[in-house]
Amino acid sequence: MYDPSMRILTVLELLQARESVTGAELARRLEVSPRTVQRYVTRLQDLGIPVEGRRGVGGAYRLKPGFRLPPLMFTGEEALALALGLRALKQLGLHTLTPAAEGASAKLTRSLPAPLREDMHALEAAVQLDASPWVVSTDAALLATLLRAVRGAQVVEFAYTSLTGRASRRRANVYRVMHLDGRWYAVGLCQLRQELRSFRLDRVRDLAVLDETFTPPATFDALALARASLPARPRHDISVWLACPPEALQGRLTTWHTDITAEAGGTRVRCQREELEWFASFLLALPYPVRVDSPPALLDTLRVMAERGRTLLAAQATG
């Protein structure tokens, strides 16, 4: 078990985590007697920590309402997890939180003992996290507002722009918020469609939290819903080479069932798709040279589309 100083700190952590804790529970958790718990509480009070106690049977301890201390004791693994998490925020598209993350990182470093502080400096110098070009930037304030609505089971209203550019006003009972394929989504019941829908947060504007509330389902798996709506087994394995850097494809191509790597001064795209026409249209819209390596059916699709184009142009010329 812990030494006495660690037990005192554990009492403080337990008091910060709960509204109140009985002396009996503290004694059981710390494997000490109730009288020893009283000594620990007295020691905290001597250090200026406002611990309030209620005597008698069922007596409990609590911190003075509104008082909180930042967590000052971290293991090496905890400190590493926090530091890496703060640096990885950009990977989730939350670039607007960068100043807050830098401030939190500085506070974390200052709170650590010298050996762990040196580990954090080593992490800063040695670890590089590449900001993926496929991650879509998301407004952190909008995300925070939406999370509060989910917590309060409150209906939200917002302006939404679909993938095709169509604008509409929506009301939704949002059950979950998820991050998938480099994007943030709100998932729940769309009141306009009366169906479960997912909304990309980078397409949401003018979000308002209404006083209207709803009863969320007891269990809801947003990721399972998203996976179920996507093709389970795409039929065509595609491999193409593009005369452009991978970054040039940002926002143009989904990363679902897609592998994008730099190759021979350009980009190799390997992916799986059910409909070749959509992918062929994507290739034709690119302002870069393209080489199709597989499948042969993709070349056939491009030939058909080229013939359609020639027919259209011929009709236009004779008309």
* Average pLDDT for 238-259: 86
The whole-chain average pLDDT of the chain stands at 84
- Which one has a higher pLDDT value, 309 or 101? 309
- Which one has a higher pLDDT value, 32 or 268? 268
Would you say residue 133 lies in a domain? no
Is the domain of 158 the same as that of 199? yes
Would you say residue 114 lies in a domain? yes
Would you say residue 68 lies in a domain? no
CA distances, 76 to each of 16, 115, 197 (Å)? 22, 9, 42
Is the domain of 119 the same as that of 147? no
* Average pLDDT for 61-74: 72
Of 228, 254, 278, the residue at which a domain comes to its end is 228
Is the domain of 263 the same as that of 297? yes
Would you say residue 131 lies in a domain? no
- Structure confidence by residue, pLDDT tens digits, 3-60: 577 778 788 878 887 788 888 888 888 878 888 888 888 888 888 888 888 755 557 8
- The CA distance from 226 to 213, in Å, is 24
Q: What is the pLDDT of residue 319?
A: 64
Q: What is the pLDDT of residue 229?
A: 64
CA distance from start to end of the chain? 90
Is the domain of 150 the same as that of 204? yes
- Domain count of the fold of the chain: 4
Is the domain of 244 the same as that of 224? no
Domain span at 15: 4-63
Lowest mean pLDDT among 65-79, 82-96, 198-212, 286-300: 65-79
Of 228, 247, 280, the residue at which a domain comes to its end is 228
Is the domain of 118 the same as that of 166? no
Q: What is the pLDDT of residue 176?
A: 93
Is the domain of 57 the same as that of 112? no
- Structure confidence by residue, pLDDT tens digits, 149-186: 999 999 999 999 987 788 999 999 999 999 887 788 99
Q: What is the CATH number of the domain that holds 296?
A: 3.30.70
- Structure confidence by residue, pLDDT tens digits, 186-200: 999 999 999 999 999
Q: How confident is the model at residue 106 (pLDDT cuts 50, 70, 90)?
A: confident
Is the domain of 240 the same as that of 223? no
Is the domain of 306 the same as that of 240? yes
Would you say residue 134 lies in a domain? no
Q: How confident is the model at residue 130 (pLDDT cuts 50, 70, 90)?
A: low
Q: How confident is the model at residue 119 (pLDDT cuts 50, 70, 90)?
A: confident
Residue 285 has pLDDT above 50, yes or no: yes
* Average pLDDT for 198-206: 93
Is the domain of 218 the same as that of 144? yes
Is the domain of 144 the same as that of 224? yes
- Which one has a higher pLDDT value, 122 or 229? 122
Would you say residue 70 lies in a domain? no
SS (H, E, C) the chain: CCCHHHHHHHHHHHHHHCCCEEHHHHHHHHCCCHHHHHHHHHHHHHCCCCEEECCCCCCEEEECCCCCCCCCCCCHHHHHHHHHHHHHHHHHCCHHHHHHHHHHHHHHHHHCCHHHHHHHHHHHHHCCCCCCCCCCCCCHHHHHHHHHHHHHCEEEEEEEECCCCCEEEEEEEEEEEEEECCEEEEEEEECCCCEEEEEEHHHEEEEEEEEEECCCCCCCCHHHHHHHCCCCCCCEEEEEEECCCHHHHCCCCCCCCEEEEEECCEEEEEEEECCHHHHHHHHHHCCCCEEEEECHHHHHHHHHHHHHHHHHHHHHHHC
Of 193, 228, 263, the residue at which a domain comes to its end is 228
Q: How confident is the model at residue 85 (pLDDT cuts 50, 70, 90)?
A: confident
Would you say residue 71 lies in a domain? no
- The CA distance from 310 to 301, in Å, is 14
Is the domain of 90 the same as that of 39? no
Q: What is the CATH number of the domain that holds 10?
A: 1.10.10.10
Residue 110 has pLDDT above 60, yes or no: yes
Lowest mean pLDDT among 162-166, 255-259, 285-289: 255-259
Residue 228 has pLDDT above 80, yes or no: no
Lowest mean pLDDT among 83-87, 280-284, 286-290, 302-306: 83-87
